[in-house]
């Protein structure tokens, strides 16, 4: 595996290629603006000349004699009839012309200043500390100083400023300078002046920025493709080079024939255009060159630049083997660190295994089982390829398997199909944080989708509306160990972002646990055993909470749940259903405060605040104190228990969950009517000019603020009225209160009133002149005219309300779209800036140059993953421990 | 030398110029050499407040208030540009 390093690169110089070098590099001169002759053979000295490489099988390169695919090709060249500016350097050319004097060619600085700058640059070069940036800074200052000079200190003549008309036209007092003139000016600059202009005269001369000869890229860099119809289609670069050659030819003919100046100049400019677009077809200031179909040509810069360019797409972007992608579906009976892999994928994905005396018989057996299955219904991994000790790869087939089965022996490497327990990396894009790619254990399954436990949805941000995920099989022993230790799902239950859990129960699991444990829910022996069997509970049943209940002893849901808790757990916290508007005592009496004593849950329901991702306190406690594996175990069991609990109770919701009694509706309407009247009153006061403005606000603003607050209040009141009639017997309410899904606001909008619609945080005011819609009077500032929606979702909106609601909804959609794209770009910049920082063993954060970024990681040296929501110690927990007399 | 008005604002962390002996004693335990320090421009207003005593190559100690750790010390080396 380890190869010798034939040469080590010590230093790279970047420089311009001069005409001499271009010709030296060239394998052939190109003169014919054509590619193939009628027989389809490359025309000599044409753009597909065989000296520049071959793209057809059978032919041989005339320069190196190699065949197609062996030959990377060779450059050619085109001699330009007239020189042409390289558009990429036009700005540098302008600066150089302004810093030097046209008659003497000297930089317009006194010898003292030249020496001064030369000394600085030379010092940087000698010390080897100079970077392009630091030297560039000095030359820039030198050029700026020289450009300021009115007269040349060497010849004493005045200087005329050269202007640049982008991209390639130079003007001196309005007179156009031809590229020829530009080039002769640059040629005049003496070598001795070049150093402080930023050139190393031994390598590069400034006149190289005006082209006299154009390098032609090798044929394999711009291969032509043969369409099904047998028609040849050339690469965009070839097309562009054809244009260049054609105009170049015409320009030469016209010049030699002594054609009028005007015609020659036109052709010259056209040549300039073609060469400019050949380099960059998106040069500002000139039209883009297009294909016959109207598609813009993809020329050199376009090949390199941007997301689809060579750098970001091919060099930084990596494509991999041993990977699979398919739709994901949920499976609560998988552990959080497992992933269900379809058989179809498992038989394509392989793991290299070196044969030794211990696994030889196993491997022989699976080869046999795969071609002569004893039980076709069970999945048994097979082997796709055998790699013999001499390095030859042999594919196992129906015909050769018996032979290869027999000669398999230690020293061989086989590529074994995926099997249960293999470690794979699982990923969902966008990969925004490290939990977007975690290591899972494989479980081979029937079907065609990847199966995951629902608790790992939050870190991946996955749902099952068609999401697809990627799977990568790690190939080496080192990678496997690394994935196992660092990347396994349980190692990521705690987030490094905020020191809480990111993996935990969601949606139905929360509802399930809540229904199992809320209030005085209890279960008879059959139910209890059925539920507990789902978590593989072994041992004696706890003493029933209701031993003398009718029809036999009954166990409370809390007891059943307590089976999963560690014995030394003591906690007291508010549950999700805690009434924020009532006193602690009241909540205590209602059983809204959770209390766990010595691993037994005495009070309170298990809901969002206990076990959910991001908020779950019990989960947080277990993962912090008992470690990753215990937390994994706990989450797995909670998942199963929740399903068990849900199966006993059932849960359903529908539109009738938003039903409220007639008198409640009447109350809501009355409250609305009253508010709307109050709004009208406010508007009248305002119209009469009697509204007292609030400090710092105009009268209009005051009116708006007051109306908004009134309408906000009425939405809350109608929500409250609706809420009184929606009790805990209502599954929609249960889901909202327990933190499973939805909120009470959502419910009151369904049952009570949707409320004020807003665009840009204000009541809706756009539309027609002085009114939002033609249904209202001009200048109407009342509630209905400015986007207040009295209706509920269930009763339905009237047309004007519907319109306002759509306006508000549109803003929401646009906001999310803008937010995602913006935050994505921000993330990219942030990652690029920070990717090579790391925490060293001495606790400092340093970059690759070993310079310090932080003297102490996070300034407090705390690993947030091991903290409790960011703080290193859990003071409340410690106090509780001391109170109980533990140490 | 450091009772300049600039430090009166709580948002401006206090900068202290270290002499060579201090630099030695303070950087040694951090396992950091001068070249590895973050930089501070000579024209930084905080250095001007040190009565222009700082020169390129000097090290300043900055008493920062950190959100995560409360008080925090940082060191920067003065550079011209």
Contact A852 B36 (CB under 8 A): yes
Question: Chain B: nearest CA to A129, how far in angstroms?
Answer: 13
How high is the pLDDT of residue B8?
A: 67
A809 shares its domain with A761 = yes
Chain B residues with CB under 8 Å of A849 CB are: 36
Cis peptide before A491 (omega within 30 of 0): no
Chain B residues with CB under 8 Å of A856 CB are: 69, 72
A386 shares its domain with A479 = yes
Contact B31 A844 (CB under 8 A): yes
In chain A, count of helices (H) and strands (E)?
27, 29
CB A850, CB B36: distance < 8 Å? yes
With 80 as the cut, is the pLDDT of residue A802 above it? yes
pLDDT band at B6 (very low <50, low <70, confident <90, very high): low
pLDDT band at B52 (very low <50, low <70, confident <90, very high): low
A481 shares its domain with A565 = no
A141 shares its domain with A63 = no
How high is the pLDDT of residue A3?
A: 58
Q: Which whole-number Å values give the CA distances from A246 to A240, A369, A622, in the listed order?
A: 10, 68, 77
A369 shares its domain with A485 = yes
Tens-place pLDDT, residues A504-529: 988 999 999 999 998 888 898 999 99
Mean pLDDT over residues A194-221, rounded? 90
Q: Does B11 touch chain A (CB under 8 A)?
A: no
- Minimum-distance CB partner of A842 among B31, B35, B69: B31
pLDDT band at A719 (very low <50, low <70, confident <90, very high): confident
Chain B residues with CB under 8 Å of A860 CB are: 66, 68-69
Tokens matching residue A130: 């100079």
A637 shares its domain with A660 = no
Tens-place pLDDT, residues A261-292: 899 999 999 999 999 999 999 888 888 888 88
Question: Chain B: nearest CA to A843, how far in angstroms?
Answer: 9
Chain B residues with CB under 8 Å of A855 CB are: 30, 32, 72-75
Mean pLDDT over residues A788-803, rounded? 90
Residue of chain A whose Cα is closest to the Cα of B33: A851
Nearest residue to A125 (alpha-carbon basis) of A203, A189, A188: A203
With 90 as the cut, is the pLDDT of residue A213 above it? yes
Mean pLDDT over residues A804-832, rounded? 89
- Minimum-distance CB partner of B38 among A852, A858, A862: A852
Mean pLDDT over residues A806-833, rounded? 89
With 60 as the cut, is the pLDDT of residue A130 above it? no
Question: Chain A: nearest CA to B43, how far in angstroms?
Answer: 18
Contact B72 A870 (CB under 8 A): no
Chain A residues contacting B via beta carbons under 8 Å: 842, 844, 846, 849-853, 855-856, 858-860, 862, 870
Contact B37 A852 (CB under 8 A): yes
Chain A residues with CB under 8 Å of B31 CB are: 842, 844
pLDDT band at A482 (very low <50, low <70, confident <90, very high): very high
% of chain A at pLDDT higher than 90: 34
Chain B residues with CB under 8 Å of A870 CB are: 68
Chain B residues with CB under 8 Å of A851 CB are: 35-38
Residue finishing a domain among A798, A814, A830: A814
How high is the pLDDT of residue A493?
A: 93
Residue finishing a domain among A265, A283, A318: A318
Mean pLDDT over residues A431-457, rounded? 93
3-state secondary structure of A627: coil
Question: What is the DSSP code string of A245-290?
Answer: HHHHHHHHHHHHTT--HHHHHHHHHHHHHHHHHHH-TT-TTSPPPB
Tens-place pLDDT, residues A430-439: 888 899 999 9
Structural domain span for residue A18: 13-75+217-224
Question: What is the DSSP code string of A456-496?
Answer: GHHHHT--SSS-EEEEEE--SHHHHHHIIIIIBGGGGSB-T
A630 shares its domain with A770 = no
Mutate to test the interface with B, among A841, A855, A872 (most CBs of B within 10 A): A855
How high is the pLDDT of residue A860?
A: 85
- Minimum-distance CB partner of B32 among A852, A859, A862: A852
Contact B74 A842 (CB under 8 A): no
Contact B66 A852 (CB under 8 A): no
Nearest residue to A367 (alpha-carbon basis) of A381, A352, A347: A381
With 60 as the cut, is the pLDDT of residue B3 above it? no
**DSSP one-letter code for A163:** E
Mean pLDDT over residues A523-541, rounded? 89
A501 within a domain of the structure (yes/no): no
Contact B68 A858 (CB under 8 A): yes
How high is the pLDDT of residue B7?
A: 67
pLDDT band at A582 (very low <50, low <70, confident <90, very high): confident
Tens-place pLDDT, residues A84-101: 999 999 999 999 999 988
pLDDT band at A1 (very low <50, low <70, confident <90, very high): very low
Domain total of chain A: 7
Distance of alpha carbon A665 from alpha carbon A670, whole angstroms: 9
Question: Chain B: nearest CA to A112, how far in angstroms?
Answer: 23
A437 shares its domain with A349 = yes
With 80 as the cut, is the pLDDT of residue A42 above it? yes
A331 shares its domain with A307 = no
pLDDT band at A131 (very low <50, low <70, confident <90, very high): low
Residue of chain B whose Cα is closest to the Cα of A860: B69
pTM: 0.73
> A169 - beta bridge partners?
A165
A80 within a domain of the structure (yes/no): no
Contact B72 A856 (CB under 8 A): yes
CB A442, CB A307: distance < 8 Å? no
Mean pLDDT over residues B40-61, rounded? 82
Highest mean pLDDT among A182-196, A481-495, A839-853, B48-62: A481-495
A819 within a domain of the structure (yes/no): no
A659 shares its domain with A640 = no
pLDDT band at A407 (very low <50, low <70, confident <90, very high): confident
Tokens matching residue A228: 């099904």
Mutate to test the interface with B, among A130, A134, A140, A859 (most CBs of B within 10 A): A859
Contact A851 B35 (CB under 8 A): yes
CATH code, domain carrying A472: 2.40.40.20
Question: Chain B: nearest CA to A848, how far in angstroms?
Answer: 11
Mean confidence (pLDDT) of chain B: 81
A823 within a domain of the structure (yes/no): no
Q: Does B36 touch chain A (CB under 8 A)?
A: yes
Question: Chain A: nearest CA to B28, how far in angstroms?
Answer: 12
Question: Chain B: nearest CA to A837, how far in angstroms?
Answer: 14
CATH of domain B5-79: 3.90.940.20
Strands (E), B1-81: 14-18, 39-41, 59-66, 70-79
- Minimum-distance CB partner of B36 among A850, A858, A859: A850
CATH code, domain carrying A624: 1.10.274.100
Contact A851 B66 (CB under 8 A): no
CB A167, CB A286: distance < 8 Å? yes
Mean pLDDT over residues A714-721, rounded? 83
Tokens matching residue A119: 């000394």
Question: Chain B: nearest CA to A496, how far in angstroms?
Answer: 14
Beta carbon pairs, A and B, within 8 Å: 37
Residue of chain A whose Cα is closest to the Cα of B67: A859
Radius of gyration of chain B (CA): 12
User: Which residue has better confidence, A722 or A345?
Assistant: A345
A821 within a domain of the structure (yes/no): no
Q: Which whole-number Å values give the CA distances from A742 to A254, A381, A589, A655, A731, in the listed order?
A: 79, 45, 26, 14, 11
Mean confidence (pLDDT) of chain A: 88
With 60 as the cut, is the pLDDT of residue B2 above it? no
Tokens matching residue A597: 């004593």
Nearest residue to A53 (alpha-carbon basis) of A25, A76, A74: A74
Contact A859 B68 (CB under 8 A): yes
Residue of chain B whose Cα is closest to the Cα of A843: B30
Distance of alpha carbon A793 from alpha carbon A727, whole angstroms: 19
Question: Chain B: nearest CA to A858, how far in angstroms?
Answer: 7
Chain B, residues 39-78, CB within 8 A of chain A, namely 66, 68-69, 72-75
Mean pLDDT over residues A771-779, rounded? 89
> B75 - beta bridge partners?
B61
With 70 as the cut, is the pLDDT of residue B57 above it? yes
Residue of chain A whose Cα is closest to the Cα of B35: A851
With 50 as the cut, is the pLDDT of residue A335 above it? yes
- Minimum-distance CB partner of B74 among A842, A855, A858: A855
Phi-psi region of A347 (alpha: psi -120 to 50; beta: other; left: phi over 0): alpha
CB A79, CB A213: distance < 8 Å? yes
A347 shares its domain with A485 = yes
- Minimum-distance CB partner of A859 among B36, B37, B69: B69
Chain B residues with CB under 8 Å of A852 CB are: 30, 32, 36-38
Q: Which whole-number Å values give the CA distances from A562 to A595, A618, A637, in the listed order?
A: 11, 11, 12
How high is the pLDDT of residue A711?
A: 86
Residue finishing a domain among A224, A248, A272: A224
Beta strands A323-330 and A450-452, pairing class: parallel
With 80 as the cut, is the pLDDT of residue A179 above it? yes
Question: Chain B: nearest CA to A866, how far in angstroms?
Answer: 15
Chain A residues with CB under 8 Å of B38 CB are: 851-853
Contact B69 A860 (CB under 8 A): yes
A335 shares its domain with A436 = yes
Chain B residues with CB under 8 Å of A850 CB are: 36
């Amino acid at each position: 595996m380890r190869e010798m390093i034939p040469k080590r690169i010590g230093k790279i110089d970047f420089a311009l290629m001069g005409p001499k070098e271009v010709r030296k590099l060239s394998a052939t001169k190109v003169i014919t603006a054509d590619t193939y002759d009628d027989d389809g053979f490359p025309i000599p000295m044409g753009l597909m000349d065989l000296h520049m490489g071959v793209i057809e099988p059978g032919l041989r390169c005339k320069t190196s004699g190699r065949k197609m695919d062996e030959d990377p090709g060779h450059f050619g060249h085109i001699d330009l009839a007239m020189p042409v500016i390289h558009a990429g350097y036009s700005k540098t050319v302008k600066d150089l012309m302004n810093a030097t004097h046209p008659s003497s060619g000297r930089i317009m600085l006194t010898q003292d200043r030249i020496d001064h700058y030369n000394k600085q640059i030379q010092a940087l070069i000698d010390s080897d500390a100079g970077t392009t940036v630091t030297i560039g800074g000095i030359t820039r200052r030198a050029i700026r100083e020289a450009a300021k000079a009115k007269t040349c200190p060497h010849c004493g003549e005045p200087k005329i400023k050269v202007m640049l008309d982008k991209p390639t036209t130079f003007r001196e007092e309005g007179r156009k300078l031809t590229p020829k003139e530009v080039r002769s000016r640059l040629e005049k600059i003496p070598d001795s002046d070049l150093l402080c202009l930023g050139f190393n005269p031994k390598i590069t001369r400034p006149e190289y920025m005006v082209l006299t000869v154009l390098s032609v890229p090798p044929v394999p860099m711009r291969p032509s493709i043969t369409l099904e119809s047998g028609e040849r289609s050339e690469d965009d670069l070839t097309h562009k080079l054809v244009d260049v050659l054609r105009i170049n030819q015409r320009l030469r003919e016209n010049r030699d024939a002594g054609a009028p100046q005007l015609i020659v100049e036109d052709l010259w400019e056209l040549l300039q255009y073609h060469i400019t677009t050949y380099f960059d077809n998106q040069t500002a200031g000139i039209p883009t060159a297009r294909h016959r179909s109207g598609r813009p040509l993809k020329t050199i810069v376009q090949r390199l630049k941007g997301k689809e360019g060579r750098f970001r797409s091919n060099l930084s972007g990596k494509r991999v083997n041993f990977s699979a992608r398919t739709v994901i579906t949920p499976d609560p009976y998988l552990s959080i660190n497992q992933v269900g892999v379809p058989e179809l994928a498992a038989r394509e994905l392989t793991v290299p295994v070196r044969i030794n005396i211990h696994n030889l018989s196993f491997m022989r057996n699976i080869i046999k089982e795969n071609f002569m299955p004893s039980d076709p219904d069970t999945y048994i991994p097979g082997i796709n390829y055998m790699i013999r000790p001499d390095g030859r790869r042999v594919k196992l087939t129906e015909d050769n398997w018996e032979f290869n089965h027999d000669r398999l022996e230690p020293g061989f490497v086989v590529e074994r199909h995926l099997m249960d327990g293999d470690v794979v990396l699982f990923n969902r894009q966008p990969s925004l944080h490290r939990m977007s790619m975690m290591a899972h254990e494989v479980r081979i399954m029937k079907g065609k989708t990847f199966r995951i436990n629902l608790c790992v949805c939050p870190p991946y941000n996955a749902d099952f509306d068609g999401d697809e995920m990627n799977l990568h099989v790690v190939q080496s022993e080192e990678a496997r160990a690394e994935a196992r230790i660092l990347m396994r799902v349980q190692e990521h239950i705690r987030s490094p972002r905020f020191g809480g859990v990111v993996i935990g129960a969601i949606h139905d699991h929360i509802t399930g646990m809540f229904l199992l444990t809320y209030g005085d829910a209890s279960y008879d022996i059959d139910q209890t055993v059925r539920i507990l069997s789902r978590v593989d509970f072994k041992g004696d049943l706890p003493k029933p909470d209701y031993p003398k209940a009718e029809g036999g002893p009954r166990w409370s849901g809390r007891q059943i749940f307590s089976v999963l808790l560690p014995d030394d757990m003591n906690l007291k916290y508010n549950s999700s259903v805690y009434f924020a508007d009532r006193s602690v005592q009241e909540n205590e009496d209602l059983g809204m405060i959770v209390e766990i004593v010595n691993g037994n849950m005495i009070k309170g329901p298990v809901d969002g605040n206990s076990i959910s991702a991001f908020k779950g306190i019990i989960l947080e406690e277990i993962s912090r104190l008992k470690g990753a594996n215990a937390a994994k175990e706990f989450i797995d069991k909670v998942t199963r228990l929740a399903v068990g609990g849900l199966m006993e109770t059932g849960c359903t919701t529908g539109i009738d969950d938003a039903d409220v009694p007639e008198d409640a509706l009447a109350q809501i309407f009355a409250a609305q009517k009253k508010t709307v009247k109050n709004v009208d009153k406010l508007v009248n006061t305002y119209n009469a000019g009697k509204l007292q403005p609030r400090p710092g606000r105009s009268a209009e603003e005051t009116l708006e603020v007051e109306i908004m607050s009134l309408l906000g209040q009425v939405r809350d009141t109608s929500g409250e009225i609706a809420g009184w009639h929606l009790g805990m017997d209502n599954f929609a309410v249960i889901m909202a209160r327990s933190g499973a899904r939805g909120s009470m606001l959502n419910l009151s909008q369904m049952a009570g009133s949707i409320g004020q619609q807003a665009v840009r945080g204000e009541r809706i005011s756009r539309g027609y002149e002085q009114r939002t819609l033609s249904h209202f009077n001009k200048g109407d500032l009342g509630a209905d005219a400015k986007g207040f929606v009295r209706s509920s979702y269930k009763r339905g909106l009237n047309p004007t309300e519907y319109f306002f609601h759509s306006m508000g909804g549109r803003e929401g959609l646009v906001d999310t779209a803008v937010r995602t794209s913006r935050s994505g770009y921000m993330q990219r910049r942030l990652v690029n800036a920070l990717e090579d920082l790391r925490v060293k063993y001495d606790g400092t954060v340093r970059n690759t140059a070993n310079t310090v970024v932080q003297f102490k990681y996070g300034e407090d040296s705390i690993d947030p993953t091991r903290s409790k929501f960011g703080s290193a110690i859990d003071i409340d927990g410690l106090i509780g421990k001391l109170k109980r007399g533990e140490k | 030398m450091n009772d300049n008005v600039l430090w009166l604002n709580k948002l401006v962390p206090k900068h202290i110029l270290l002499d060579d002996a201090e630099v030695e004693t303070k950087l040694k335990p951090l396992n950091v050499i001068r070249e590895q320090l973050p930089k501070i421009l000579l024209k930084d207003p905080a250095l001007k407040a040190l009565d222009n005593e700082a020169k390129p190559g000097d090290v300043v100690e900055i008493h920062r208030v950190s959100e995560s750790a409360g008080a925090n010390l940082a060191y920067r080396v003065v550079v011209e540009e």
